[in-house]
Amino acid sequence: MADTQNGAGAAGREAGATAGRAARRQAPPPRKGRRAPRATTGAGRMAALLVSPTLLVLTIVVLYPTLMALDESLYGPQGLDPETGFISDTAPFVGLRNYTDIFTQAGDRFWNAFGNTTFFTVVTVTLETVLGVAMALIMHKAFRGRGLVRASILVPWAIPTAISGLLWRWVFNANGIANVLVGEQVLWTADGIQAKSAVIIAEVWKTAPFIGLLVLAGLQVISKEVYEAARLDGASAPRQFWHITLPLVKPALLVAVLFRCLDALRMFDLPYILIGTQKRSVETLSMLAQNEASNVRFGPAAAYAVLLFVYVFLIALAFVRLLGADLIGDGGTERRRANGRARRSRKGATA
């Protein structure tokens, strides 16, 4: 009799425990109105605290000057005060007239500078990408004297742009090295296609190592086992580069191209020092804004700067929108396919 009661009590306790576990599993999810756990709140506060210095610097360096330029672009140039005969202390408010004058009175000069800016960006970034990838592949190889080769490749990028412009101005002089190599007397610093060529050569020489440095960082994280497996499968060197190296280094390469595009769109100092001012063939939007400011036309200069800012912003936004996943390397098509194959293989092994 006692055994029967003990068995019934044990069965009851087991049934109660099973019901309790089922009730806990079927418990309704927490309501959205509940406050977040303290750990999550503390992590959010810590993240905001760590990010706040960066946001403060960006506000001071980027946001405030942009708003000031936008405000300045709504005012015209300071004219002469009829009472004193000196330049007036206040600038007249003209609204959007500076912008309309850019596309009407100064339309030809603006579109020429816009075309030069776009042309320099497309040509230089394309050449720098090709040369930068080649430099990265050379620096990544293991050979004697690799450190010296890496240092010599990175030297042009370390030279300040002003110094680089002066050096190339000496190279493209009438009696310089460029004319000795060409065998003709070419006026490289005069207005014309030769001036464009001089700027492109100097810009590519200086900034191609930057792309090579970022691509080299991407190459160094690729496992050697991948190439060994490809060689065992009979893949040639070009196929390895096209199907292994290029896809795996793509995020770093896209980041480098984005940075170079944004930098080339703001090109100013190299053509300014190498060729000079008011040269139609090499005048960019930044040079146009500087020319207006040097003539004490701060309103039109600010308008040019605002238009350049909008142009750079749109290019960056389009770049990130179209290639955002590849820029951060967080879920491209190849990675999703690889994860899917891994899950299927695990399921097959379990079965």
Residue 329 has pLDDT above 70, yes or no: no
Residue 192 has pLDDT above 90, yes or no: no
Mean per-residue pLDDT, 286-304: 90
What does the alpha-carbon distance between residue 137 and residue 131 come to, in Å, rounded to a whole number? 10
3-class secondary structure, 309:
helix
Q: What is the dihedral of CA 213, 178, 284, 193, to 10 degrees?
A: -130
Q: pTM value?
A: 0.75
3-class secondary structure, 35:
coil
**pLDDT number for residue 76:** 83
What does the alpha-carbon distance between residue 49 and residue 214 come to, in Å, rounded to a whole number? 30
Q: How confident is the model at residue 1 (pLDDT cuts 50, 70, 90)?
A: very low
- pLDDT single digits (tens) 253-278: 988 999 999 999 999 999 999 998 88
**pLDDT number for residue 207:** 93
**pLDDT number for residue 170:** 92
- pLDDT single digits (tens) 67-113: 888 898 898 877 666 666 666 667 778 888 989 988 888 788 899 99
Tell me the one-letter amino acid at 23: A
**What average pLDDT does the chain have?**
80
Higher pLDDT: 150 or 134? It is 134
22-53 b/e (C-beta count within 10 Å ≥ 16 → b): eeeeeeeeeeeeeeeeeeeeeeeeeeeeeeee
**Phi, psi of 289, deg, nearest 5:** -65, -40
Hey, what are 294's tokens?
């040097």
**pLDDT number for residue 62:** 82
Higher pLDDT: 344 or 40? It is 40
What does the alpha-carbon distance between residue 219 and residue 40 come to, in Å, rounded to a whole number? 37
